[in-house]
Chains A and B, each alone.
Chain A
């Protein structure tokens, strides 16, 4: 064999490298056996001079290198990305050059030594049309679009989201959190536009939108994206002594496709946090926003910009009947945030289908201020807690209990501050509160106010409200009794009912005397007392010397008791709420027959019974005896298991 371009030594260098790159196996000949190197001139004749010279030099060197070194060089050339700039480039050049020559000569199968057959390559393009008698290749049917058969938008969305789960569930949590990270970048970058959209749908003040919706989403996404990989990693669990040699695990797997229904008070936060949590856990999502604040198109746009595939989150717009259709499509879980009335309906519908639900419902949250609390700070906190989002939060302060000795001072401070509240749907962040979002909520507030007035409450500020306008000002009420509607039902507006109390026991009893139990706050210099009271409050979260703060921390779970719902959102528990927590117990493959397997015999009964005595008894020598009995039992069981009962 000879070449116009390569010397004998260079040719042998090429063949040496060729046999490392393609050593051959049962089906494929080695590079040298393929005879491909005979065609080397058909390549080299056409190369740029510099490439040709470089390769000739390489092959000359290869010829004198021991095989292991040559292999090392080729291996190293594959690690180009780990090598710095010019070295990486050199490695790539060697790699592309050597592999290029060897692969081209070999896989062109110029001599037709069966390489094409072995790899299954038989592409052809015949010049002439089909000869007589040869069968045509069958044409395939026209492709059908996914979910073409769906009868409603809800069903279609569910089918599409189910299809999306195939890819999402295979991603690692880290890969999923990359999407959440870019979502966070986008929310941060586009926050002003987002706030415009939120204001247009809700009539919030601009600062309300920034400080709760935007800040809340960013904080939560940040936490989720950083913590989820750890929280959703496989966990080793305790394995009892009696199961020695085995290991126990929990795996946090996706449920599949979950339905998220969100309310109108925080349309942004209530969309993105549950959506991100569900996605991180590997679920695709059907999301139904409130028909009052749909933010139409916004969430899709942000998700798409974050490269989230459309079928991972399908958004369905519509009212309660659409929500019911979504539940009827049988998602793997329903995560509902909204009113207790609707929550009950959803739970009823889901219970028929045995679809698990999680409900985050209303509240009538108490704030308890003891006499040793700082009056000015507590009043400012009360004001914010009652008025943020114009009082339209499920955890708004709706009952304000103030200990008698400071009641009057607190009342005048609160009223003083309330009168200074600026109300507007502003564009520059200068307003404290915006307007009410929905007309029907205005009616409820009006009804509660009327009822309170009729039953003797005094309006300390806000009396100028006409009972109709969506711009309800802060309304502070005194002489409130426990039988008034605004002391019992959720008002969801800027009403602040002030009530005096005398002593811990009384205030705990009154605070707990509610059909709701979402969150609460306790204010006192005496932290011990504050904790004591907090422990006895029947609710899902308590802020001490602060207000509405538990839900501000994304690491803390959120949820209530009684009519405030069940299940926990956010935090580790919230993430796990979107998981199928799979229990896994791993034993080795062996030839052993386990002690608790058949056959059961009197002898085994006795041994097992002894074992229990030693394992759970309180004697000091128990452990040694347990080990001895255990071994006996194991041996016996193994033997009995293999030989059968008769022996």
Chain B
């Protein structure tokens, strides 16, 4: 067993959206930091080329993890850069509705649009954010737009963390779901994480942390490299940035449950339902910008769902289309003729992350009647959009997908019903922090990544202030 003698100022577990920006703040403040990441460190030339390898090598469990009732598939990133490498990089600032409900659920008074503005602004300085150019919109975006217009629903163009996507040369952003091959998508390995490493962050990739311990004013972290060889590290402070499921799993496995009874609770996922519609003419939903529009309908928002035009690569489409055999193949050959819109539910019923006896994950997450109503209202709207644009057939996607994994270490004022305090410290621990998606008090119903960035930048500033740096 190897054990380094050095004590780091801070160890950051997870090199995703949050970890990258907490680390950047800390190393820029002069702290000596180590980042541990289970996933591999790729670059634009080495990201896996095929969907098979991308699923296997960029996600936990070889692609998809299922909830206990096997009706939601979670996509949980496992790669240096985390979600920022595999996500669609849509950037939302939360609205009053989201922050009001966060404040109400957590009692944390800084969850306001006015206060968070400065942190969003700091996040925006780190990346290039563009409005997805309407000029290169594909047929799917047209279906979305025209369907919204015909029914009188409101929509808005999407904002995406991107730069120079080269749409004029026919590039399709869908490819970048497996890591961007031209460094256009503003993933952390080419933005925040890159800067952090340049400022002295030490990164160990392919290392899965299995155990953490807080003792004698320091933290000890143990885990294994890819070849199975164990290592231990020590630090004065620990930043958990392993994501919603990752944080809960690690803390549960390390026995924190007794002190943190709410651990693993309050898990939300914005269950997404992709629905396909068949058109006579080619739609080419995978060409150009993958997503162009979102619903901006006040009533959709208040009804608890949102719509975005979207598509997926062939394997995922094959999984969405029900059935198998020749009929399924016939549908697959119509790939270019499919439009696709997703309904994302702002889930009101929390799930729970647990561990089985053998240490495997057990994720309990179901839709209650209210959430089903939200989904169905979304599907009705979608049907109206597809009908209005002349779809010949609508295919409701077979599986729900959980991409926005949130909670498990929800923020709140006291230990009974929450795990993390407003100062980003786990209740009762003075040197363990988290600012990633696990602290979300409930489902905001909006794209989370930009807010994770903003909160992570704030957390780093808070830690530095505490350090007196």
Interface residues of A (CB under 8 A from B): 20-25, 27-28, 39, 42-51, 74, 78, 80, 85, 88-90, 92-93, 96, 99-100, 103-110, 115-116, 118-121, 123-127, 129-130, 134, 136-137, 139-140, 142-143, 145-146, 160, 163-164, 166-168, 170-171, 175, 178, 304-305, 307, 309-312, 314
Contact = CB atoms under 8 A, between A and B. Distances in A.
A171 B324 CA distance: 28
Contact of B167 (A45, A127, A137, A314): A137
A21 B323 CA distance: 8
Contacts of A125: 166, 171-173, 175-176, 180-182, 184
Contacts of A178: 380
Contact of A43 (B56, B167, B380, B390): B56
Contacts of B298: 304
B444 interface: no
A28 to B, nearest CB: 5
Contacts of B71: 80, 89, 92
B56 A42 contact: yes
Interface in B61-105: 61-66, 68-71, 73
A123 B56 contact: no
Interface in B150-207: 150-153, 166-176, 180-182, 184
B172 A123 contact: yes
Interface stretch (B12-20, B234-242, B256-264, B310-318): B310-318
A110 B324 contact: no
Contacts of B280: none
B174 to A, nearest CB: 5
A143 B150 contact: no
B1 to A, nearest CB: 23
A311 B56 contact: no
Given A25-B326, A88-B69, A123-B287, 9 more contacts: A107-B317, A125-B181, A130-B166, A137-B169, A140-B136, A143-B134, A164-B152, A164-B388, A167-B150
A163 B299 contact: no
A369 to B, nearest CB: 51
B57 A309 contact: no
A20 B299 CA distance: 45
Contacts of A168: 384
A74 B333 CA distance: 22
A23 B326 contact: yes
A188 to B, nearest CB: 17
A6 to B, nearest CB: 14
Nearest to A18: B324
Contacts of A129: 166, 169
Contacts of A142: 134-135
B137 A140 contact: yes
A107 B170 CA distance: 22
A123 B50 contact: no
Contacts of A100: 63-64, 319
Given A46-B56, A47-B62, A170-B387, A126 B166 contact: yes
Contacts of B325: 20-23
B171 A124 contact: yes
6 contacts: A23-B326, A23-B329, A28-B333, A124-B172, A139-B133, A166-B390
Given A89-B71, A137-B288, A96 B319 contact: yes
Nearest to B142: A143
A54 B184 CA distance: 39
Nearest to B68: A89
Nearest to A107: B314
A27 B380 CA distance: 35
A143 B147 CA distance: 13
B152 A119 contact: no
B332 interface: yes
Interface string B384-397: 11011110000000
Contacts of A80: 71
A158 B235 CA distance: 68
Contacts of A104: 51-52, 55, 63, 315
The interface centre, meaning the residue of A105, A139, A142 with most chain B CB atoms within 10 A of its CB, is A139
B385 A119 contact: no
B69 A85 contact: yes
**Interface size class, chain B:** 35 or more
Interface string B309-344: 000011101110011111011001101100000000
B63 A50 contact: no
Contacts of A103: 315, 318-319
B335 to A, nearest CB: 5
B56 A45 contact: yes
Nearest to A305: B299
B44 to A, nearest CB: 7
B6 interface: no
A140 B134 contact: yes
B61 A307 contact: no
A406 to B, nearest CB: 58
Contact of B151 (A85, A107, A143, A312): A312
Interface string B124-146: 00000000011111000010010
Nearest to B176: A125
A78 B51 CA distance: 24
A130 B166 CA distance: 8
A127 B182 contact: yes
B299 A48 contact: no
Contacts of B180: 125
A123 B385 contact: no
Contacts of A51: 61-62
A108 B50 contact: yes
B324 A20 contact: yes
Interface string B366-389: 000000000001001101110111
B45 to A, nearest CB: 8
Contacts of B377: 307
A139 B171 contact: no
B466 interface: no
A120 B335 contact: yes
B315 A120 contact: no
A105 B45 CA distance: 23
A123 B174 contact: yes
B318 A107 contact: yes
The interface centre, meaning the residue of A89, A92, A137, A171 with most chain B CB atoms within 10 A of its CB, is A137
B216 interface: no
B355 interface: no
What 8 pairs between A and B have smallest CB-CB spacing?
A: A310-B152, A311-B152, A309-B151, A108-B52, A139-B135, A123-B172, A92-B70, A46-B62
Nearest to A48: B61
A123 B286 contact: yes
The interface centre, meaning the residue of B170, B172, B182 with most chain A CB atoms within 10 A of its CB, is B170
A174 to B, nearest CB: 12
Contacts of A42: 52-53, 56
A103 B303 CA distance: 35
A175 B171 CA distance: 40
A370 to B, nearest CB: 54
A25 B325 CA distance: 10
A127 B70 contact: no
B149 interface: yes
B360 interface: yes
A119 B173 contact: no
A312 B299 CA distance: 15
Given A137-B136, A311-B151, A89 B169 contact: no
A310 B313 contact: no
A570 B333 CA distance: 49
A89 to B, nearest CB: 4
A44 B57 CA distance: 11
A22 B65 CA distance: 24
A74 B324 CA distance: 9
Given A42-B52, A104-B55, A130-B166, A145 B61 contact: no
Contacts of A93: 66, 70
